[in-house]
Structure 1
């Protein structure tokens, strides 16, 4: 692809994102844009439940099962399967969290998740050049710590689902083309496996450090295809050069009446419209803007710093009912359900000659504020890999996230609870330490302080531990 073609592709995708955002926001051209702008500001880590594990950069390279799993290479069986085009990964995650003060009441409980992922290489299996497939089955178990004890609007744990279930969560086919610089993926596809994702926030267990709260929140009609309920969709990704990428996806909406259920939304007739989302990203390190800041990249140095800046936008069709606004006949007014986000993450320090490093992230997203409870959210934090010499795989993290409810959202929440809200914001600070004790065994204590849970409850303190087994 020539420089001119790359430039044209990037400009075209940027224009598409701009059109997507502006078409959902009739008032932006007349001043709301300025208001919105003023308001905005690893593989070593476990994936959130339902998120695809793995890294496209390592595609084609066999994992080191002896160093990353409890059961190893199964006497060579895993390597033979991999050589034939089949990779099988099984992860069990168990959390115990307890609310020690505030919230709804003191109490806690266990939550578990089994994730079986099968990746297929189409060329090795069938001679299908550039083809691949992915199947993920999940099984949830345990209680509902947030629902029963905390009462946070954003949640407390990315394992917690409305109901326990066992079944298919992800099932898609992918075709790569343009010498691997583009790919098309279609099937049962969760958006939070690729969109609005920051690697440096992956260590945290709070749900909003995956896909942020304002996008994950359901609107008045429907919500997105994310854990624990997915739906059919298609995604196009283009990587014109190593420093740039662009993605565009369309997915069926999950009806709002399914908030208290879980399972794939596989019926087109029972879906509620569709969601269109796009994201453009840039890597300062890959573009060479930081030079040899992290040291010379020798042949024996496979270190790769985190480095990404991305802009995304999304909108649903058809129009949604506004949360509380009505016309003169007391009929609900309708509006476009849309939003946009900006994220950035960067490794800012590396201990020379090691993989010990410090990475920072920040994310801001906003919605139309009429069809969704949340008007915007902001999160930021840091993760320090290898905080102590001799413990290069440990990760220490501290982060905070805040969600803001706009006037219609606050009115709806107050009406549903039957009592006035005490705040328009809910804020969470999480402190965690992830420690691999054996190959495939990770222990992770966690502490959260939640301010104004549910926008009206006493401040809550949640403490617990995560145990993750990679088999």
Structure 2
């Protein structure tokens, strides 16, 4: 798709539908073009005719033009340099006419999508089902199935209510199923990313995003989680395990609130060019997971999480393979419990008793990086091999982990014939604190088992994302291997788990993504 026809069809005089829209008609045919596009075929590869009224700011094949009351956002947004561009949400005039004649229902759906787009309403729906089987090692062999549904919308309040620079994000979530990590392996890091213990309908986001000064300043505030705003990799969630989706250490040690759980929070970002600075403040509320996210009281709050992040993130027009680097700090003001000792100084894993308490004041730091290593079809293509990695650590030695290091590769479009597929490999290294390792081994000693929980843990995953035709449905077979599993997921385990081999299949319907603010 993408080469100009020999005799280009040009949109001629239109017929008016209603007060606001004109339906362009191609004069060589009798069927009018549906109102979502006005197509003009290229006469030559150097033809750079601008779009006529695009509200999306995207340049599409054959100069697809959105028919709407809104002009292009900038004078340079609606030009393309080559006719050989992949098809996006629109179609060429010829294929669109054929589709409209043969599939009237598709035209209606396209009209609905265009109406939503013109009014600034971007609905989202993600369903993911994670089947996993432990074929060797762990605590026992077996299989489990889990999944979830995430739905929401992003509302452009400038188009809806003429509020400049404002967007409202609304997201809900619901999860089901059982955890292989808890039942068959024992480790705390999930091998099924879409499993959550609180299987209830959740308000997962209700935020107001406001841009100022031509987008250089951005404020996001409301009911939100921290992991969507700070220390977030763009590639971690392309894997089935939850080691980097979100970053495990920032939750376990830093107290970052992770999706789908939300507390009160705000983030302010300043991004004059490619570099940016972000600061955030988030409520810490240990009771949040016990409700549906609709209890907005701060009566059970235990403190505040403060975050600071600086980064280098070029213009998105350069593509997702552009280099991206960031580093950040966190401060957690909440009081916390000793991982190993009770208030009398005894070992909790052996004799029990309430944990020793410490005043708040925990610090930590992280750094992330990613960049494209190889582009088989040049900068204009979405096909690329990207390397990414991150590292995080607390400043004290009394948290769950002393260190997490992650490194991975992801190949978008590994084959020219299948540009919508993806293939990835990722490795994680965890180093437990001496207190956390000691507590787990104390539990095993109490049950008469060998104290074989190691201080170092490794997790690996290899997966392939297979897109079914041009639909938003993906199949993701995956293989995971865990070296020295822990028992954080199953503290009642009666022995240390063996190294575990897991195979699985994710089935995902992804229409619009989860709705993470930029």
Q: TM-score, normalised by structure 2?
A: 0.70
Match of 1:35 in 2: none
Describe the SS at the equivalent of 1:209.
Answer: coil
Match of 2:125 in 1: 90
Match of 1:233 in 2: 265
Mapped to 1, the partners of 2:266 and 2:308 lie a distance apart of 12
Mapped to 1, the partners of 2:345 and 2:193 lie a distance apart of 42
Match of 1:383 in 2: 410
Among 201, 211, 214, which residue is 2:236 paired with?
201
Distance verdict in 2 for CA 1:303–1:169, change over 3 Å: closer
Q: Shift of residue 125 of structure 1?
A: 0.9
Residue-pair matches, total? 392
Mapped to 1, the partners of 2:288 and 2:106 lie a distance apart of 38
Unaligned segments of structure 1, at least 5 residues: 1-57, 288-300
Q: Does 1:127 align with 2:162?
A: yes
Match of 2:503 in 1: 463
Among 423, 433, 441, which residue is 2:454 paired with?
423
The list of structure 1 runs, each at least 4 consecutive aligned residues, that deviate by more than 6 angstroms after superposition, is 70-73, 326-330
Whether the 8 Å CA contact 1:306–1:347 is kept in 2: the answer is yes
Instruction: Name the stretch that deviates more: 227-236 or 348-357.
Output: 348-357
Describe the SS at the equivalent of 2:468.
Answer: strand
Alignment of 1:171-186 (within 5 A): 171-186=206-221
* TM-superposition CA deviations, 1:138-181 (whole Å, max 9, x none): 11111222111121122212211112111311111111112211
Q: Shift of residue 286 of structure 1?
A: 5.8
Match of 1:315 in 2: 331
* TM-superposition CA deviations, 1:26-69 (whole Å, max 9, x none): xxxxxxxxxxxxxxxxxxxxxxxxxxxxxxxx9766995579xx
Match of 1:345 in 2: 370
Whether the 8 Å CA contact 1:337–1:371 is kept in 2: the answer is no
Whether the 8 Å CA contact 1:427–1:452 is kept in 2: the answer is yes
Q: Shift of residue 233 of structure 1?
A: 0.5
Among 382, 386, 409, which residue is 1:355 paired with?
382
Mapped to 2, the partners of 1:463 and 1:71 lie a distance apart of 38
Whether the 8 Å CA contact 2:249–2:392 is kept in 1: the answer is yes
Mapped to 2, the partners of 1:267 and 1:387 lie a distance apart of 49
Match of 2:297 in 1: 267
Whether the 8 Å CA contact 1:326–1:333 is kept in 2: the answer is no
Unaligned segments of structure 2, at least 5 residues: 1-54, 59-65, 67-86, 92-104, 347-355, 488-495, 512-518
Among 97, 119, 136, which residue is 2:171 paired with?
136
Distance verdict in 2 for CA 1:147–1:137, change over 3 Å: same
Distance verdict in 2 for CA 1:102–1:304, change over 3 Å: closer
Match of 2:62 in 1: none
Among 269, 286, 305, which residue is 2:321 paired with?
305
Mapped to 2, the partners of 1:91 and 1:177 lie a distance apart of 30
Mapped to 2, the partners of 1:262 and 1:447 lie a distance apart of 34
Distance verdict in 2 for CA 1:275–1:73, change over 3 Å: farther
Whether the 8 Å CA contact 1:322–1:370 is kept in 2: the answer is no
Mapped to 2, the partners of 1:403 and 1:302 lie a distance apart of 34
Mapped to 1, the partners of 2:246 and 2:319 lie a distance apart of 26
Alignment of 1:58-97 (within 5 A): 64-65=88-89, 74-97=109-132
Mapped to 1, the partners of 2:309 and 2:143 lie a distance apart of 38
Whether the 8 Å CA contact 2:388–2:409 is kept in 1: the answer is yes
Mapped to 2, the partners of 1:362 and 1:217 lie a distance apart of 19
CA RMSD of aligned residues (A): 2.8
Higher fraction of helix: 1
Q: Shift of residue 228 of structure 1?
A: 3.2
Distance verdict in 2 for CA 1:215–1:421, change over 3 Å: farther
Q: Shift of residue 190 of structure 1?
A: 1.4
Whether the 8 Å CA contact 2:440–2:453 is kept in 1: the answer is no
Whether the 8 Å CA contact 2:481–2:499 is kept in 1: the answer is yes
Whether the 8 Å CA contact 1:434–1:443 is kept in 2: the answer is yes
Q: Shift of residue 262 of structure 1?
A: 6.5
Q: Shift of residue 427 of structure 1?
A: 0.8
Describe the SS at the equivalent of 1:216.
Answer: helix
Higher RCO structure (Cα 8 Å, ≥6 apart) = 1
Match of 1:405 in 2: 432
Whether the 8 Å CA contact 1:322–1:335 is kept in 2: the answer is no
* TM-superposition CA deviations, 1:406-431 (whole Å, max 9, x none): 11222232334545243101110100
Match of 2:467 in 1: 436
Whether the 8 Å CA contact 1:410–1:421 is kept in 2: the answer is no
Distance verdict in 2 for CA 1:105–1:304, change over 3 Å: closer
Whether the 8 Å CA contact 2:332–2:360 is kept in 1: the answer is no
Among 397, 409, 414, which residue is 2:441 paired with?
414
